[in-house]
């Protein structure tokens, strides 16, 4: 194995999830293809060029039950940045919910945030 290509993220609505991840967190839509009644939506971080999140519409009761809780009380994934404080300010101005302010830790400066459904995401700037 060499890389992790995609993380699947259950969403209630494609458009609201796309808006949140692009407008507030800085992702871009790298793929958005409709085939029949299905849709393939992949979001990437602007600076990486690598695919990151495959949005998947929650279609069953069990899918809907875990939207926003896919990793329980832990972060679903982590985002790396070169400017944690700057990103924090930018996202906060756009209404992103944070759990505290960025803190310096041995592994870098980081902060926990939530997506539109309550999934936790950790943002970190390496020391």
- List the chain domain ranges: 7-125
Residue among 46, 33, 87 at smallest CA distance from 121 = 87
Closest CA to 76 of 25, 117, 119, 41: 119
Q: How far apart are CA 79 and CA 81, in angstroms?
A: 7
Question: Which H/E stretch holds residue 88?
Answer: helix 84-93
Q: What are phi and psi of 103, to 5 degrees?
A: -125, 145
Q: What string of pLDDT tens digits covers the 127 residues of the chain? A: 777 789 999 999 999 999 999 999 999 999 999 988 899 999 999 877 677 899 999 999 999 999 999 999 999 999 999 999 999 999 999 999 999 999 999 999 999 999 999 999 999 999 9
Residue 61, C-beta contacts closer than 8 angstroms, at least 6 positions apart: none
For residue 49, what pLDDT is reported? 67
- Report the CATH architecture of 7-125: Roll (3.10)
């Amino acid at each position: 194995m060499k890389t992790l290509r995609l993380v699947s993220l259950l969403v209630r609505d494609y458009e609201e999830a796309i808006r949140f991840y692009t407008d507030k967190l800085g992702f871009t839509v790298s793929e958005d293809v409709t085939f029949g009644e299905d849709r393939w939506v992949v979001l990437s971080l602007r600076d990486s060029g690598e695919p990151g999140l495959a949005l998947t519409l929650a279609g069953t009761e069990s899918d809907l039950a875990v939207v926003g809780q896919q990793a329980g009380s832990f972060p679903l994934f982590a985002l790396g940045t070169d400017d944690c404080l700057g990103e924090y300010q930018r996202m906060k101005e756009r209404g992103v919910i944070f759990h505290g302010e960025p803190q310096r830790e041995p592994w870098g400066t980081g902060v926990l945030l939530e997506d539109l459904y309550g999934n936790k995401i950790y943002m970190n700037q390496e020391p």
